Amino acid sequence: MLTQLFARSVLTLSGWTVKNNMPPDIKQCVMIAAPHTSNWDFFYTRLAFLQMDIPVKMTIKRSYMRFPYGPFARALGCIGIDRRPKKEGQERPSMVQVMADLFKEHDNLVMLVTPEGTRSLSTKWKTGFYHVAVLANVPVALGYLDYKKKEAGVGKMVYPSGNMKKDVQNIMAFYKNIVPHTPEYFSIDLDYDS
């Protein structure tokens, strides 16, 4: 594929290597993208996923899927979500529920999330990604960019065990040794630092 070749060429010329530990039979998962400390992260992340041929999707408000943003959003792999109640009088569904329901609608879905929630320093991650994985009964893949090694990829898979604290500690242990673009803007979730 031309896009794969383009991504590989740009990454190689930039001195980056890509490591993919995602099992080939995984068709559905929540993919963490971390650390997230710079605008460059999006650029290298997109190239790495193109090279690995992992068609990641991101969720945005459905209103952004309309013209003039729609074509661009679809090209980036965005899926529009709508949290309005399906029927009048019903409660508005949570973001976690809406995202988990997407796995029922799409047989092949790798949902990219950035649980740090900001490019600034945050010592607490949003754990909705874990609840989405549990509700959808899918694993969590640990995508990463290590600027010290100039390495991008998928580190490992975490299968929710029902023990959230243990599972998220396992995830934080992985990211603890990853070096971001701007180290002073990155922290694992200190509530889960084992």
What domain count does the chain have?
1
- Measured CA to CA, the distance from residue 74 to residue 67 in angstroms comes to 11
Amino acid 71: pLDDT? 82
Q: List per-residue pLDDT tens for the chain, 194 residues long.
A: 678 999 999 999 999 999 999 999 999 999 999 999 999 999 999 999 999 999 999 988 888 778 888 888 788 788 888 877 777 888 888 999 999 999 999 999 999 999 998 778 999 999 999 999 999 999 999 999 999 999 999 999 999 999 999 999 999 999 999 999 999 999 999 999 97
pTM here is 0.90
Query: 93: domain range?
Result: 2-192
> What CA–CA distance (Å, rounded) separates 169 from 191?
9
Amino acid at 115: P
Q: Around Cβ 155, how many Cβ atoms within 10 Å?
A: 20
CA atoms within a 13 Å half-sphere pointing along the CA-CB vector of 44: 28
